[in-house]
């Protein structure tokens, strides 16, 4: 899976170009929103203090992928 595929799926899930921590947690199936913030959103620029650009989040998710 490439970054653009991840971004496409995130856009489909949210219906917009930004995503919040709670939405990302739902997308990933993680109940603990704090862990999602710490692992995937820390250091990214937030729009309005809460929303993150999907392209930035997709890049972070791709960087966390493990190839087998």
The pLDDT value recorded for residue 67 is: 67
The pLDDT value recorded for residue 1 is: 77
Is residue 13 within 8 A of residue 27, CB to CB? The reply is: yes
pLDDT band at 4 (very low <50, low <70, confident <90, very high): very high
CA 5 – CA 1 distance, rounded (Å)? 6
pLDDT digits (tens, 9 = 90+) for 7-66: 999 999 999 999 999 999 999 999 999 999 999 999 999 999 899 999 999 999 998 887
What tokens appear for 4 in the block? 């653009």
**Residues 34-43: contacts with CB under 8 Å, at least 24 apart:** 39/64, 40/64
The pLDDT value recorded for residue 68 is: 64
The pLDDT value recorded for residue 10 is: 97
CA 10 to chain centre: 7
């Amino acid at each position: 899976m490439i970054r653009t595929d991840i971004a496409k799926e995130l856009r489909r899930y949210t219906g917009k170009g930004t995503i919040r921590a709670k939405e990302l947690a739902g997308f990933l199936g993680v109940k603990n929103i704090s862990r999602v913030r710490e692992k995937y959103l820390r250091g990214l620029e937030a729009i309005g203090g809460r929303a993150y650009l999907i392209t930035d989040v997709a890049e972070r998710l791709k960087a966390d992928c493990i190839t087998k």
